[in-house]
Amino acid sequence: MKIKKVDSQGRIVLPRRWKEEELKDGNEVIIIEEKGILKIISKKKIELAQFFDTLDFGEEVL
């Protein structure tokens, strides 16, 4: 946990390590607003090819 100052325009500086790890594939984030809380989540590109041939219906298909 870190305490950060918010400037007069409402901006904060994100930690360098988090930016390097979480934003290496892009520079967009998702911001979720809840009562008294802001969640900042990196918007990662999903490689859909990793899901090919992974559908399992639990039955053997003939």
For the stretch 17-52, pLDDT in tens is 999 988 887 888 999 999 999 999 988 777 777 777
Whether the Cβ atoms of residue 26 and residue 44 lie closer than 8 Å to each other: yes
7 or 24: which leads in pLDDT:
7
Q: What single-letter DSSP state applies at residue 48?
A: G
The whole-chain average pLDDT of the chain stands at 85
Asked if the model's pLDDT at residue 59 lies above 90, the reply is: no
Amino acid making up residue 58: G
CB burial class (10 A; 0-12, 13-18, 19+) of residue 54? exposed
CB 24 within 8 A of CB 43: no
The whole model's pTM is what?
0.59
